[in-house]
Amino acid sequence: MSLPASIAPRGKARPDKPTNLLVSATTLVMAREILDLVLVLLAVASATTCIAAHYRDRQRLFWITKPLTLVFVLLLATRPSLGTSGIYQGLLVTGLVFSLAGDVFLMLPSDRFVAGLASFFVGHVFYIAAFVVDAGPASALVREPLLLLAMLAASAGVYAHLWSGLGDMKLPVAVYGVTIAAMAWQATARWNEMGQLGALLACSGALLFVVSDSVLAVNRFRRSFGAAEAVVLGTYYCAQCLIALSIGSGESIADWAMR
């Protein structure tokens, strides 16, 4: 005789593993998005303070907040991420470390412009490596050749404008200009090939980096103007934040928009 259902012995309920995994993944994504927001807000606050300190001639505050802003960006780049290769993340983090060194060199009281330029040059080499490695099997030498020519032409135009004021810096600035043009080329070509949110963020960051460096060069070698520091630092910090946010953003634009 069977027992009534109300008093029949029951086994332990078996957890719905797929559901639990889905909840865990959703929680992880939400936690990461909150962490991203906090770090971005801290970076924005620090960058704003840095720019204000420059114009108010508060040098000590400027010296603190200029590298501090990039420290927040570095924390953003080193956060746990989903859907991004460790190689891509490692190369970008290394590039950010060299950028931080460049920031420190450029703000020192003595003129360390060459050391700063060299640090950013190495940082861009790591960025290029990240974009090339992550974009897939297509050879970097044949990827979007017309785009490369356009980037080099734009770089040559800026260089020609700077020529008369470069003095002994003609060769270093030329090498740096080719390097940052190559970085923007690879970031844009990667976006064209992959079509992912992270690739778009990295591409936008690379192009903003070109704007920042171009304005910095014009202000230093051609003609200084009052708003230069705000433009240079504003575009620079936005560029670095976007590149850092490209880590862990492997979904398509459509999937991201529908979330």
Q: Which pLDDT belongs to residue 107?
A: 86
In the chain, which residues have pLDDT < 50? 254, 256-257
The model carries a pTM of: 0.84
Nearest alpha-carbon partner for 229 in 70, 107, 116: 107
- Give the start-to-end residue ranges of the domains of the chain: 82-258
CA-closest candidate to residue 218, choices 173, 152, 153, 168: 173
pLDDT at residue 256 in the model = 47
According to the model, what pLDDT value does residue 138 have? 58
Q: Please state, in angstroms and rounded to a whole number, the distance separating the CA atoms of residues 29 and 22.
A: 11
Q: Write down the pLDDT at residue 15.
A: 52
CA 47, CA 145: separation in Å to the nearest integer? 36
pLDDT in tens, 156-165: 999 999 999 9
Encoding tokens for residue 218? 């014009």
Q: What is the pLDDT of residue 108?
A: 81
pLDDT at 33: 80
User: What's the confidence (pLDDT) of residue 29?
Assistant: 66
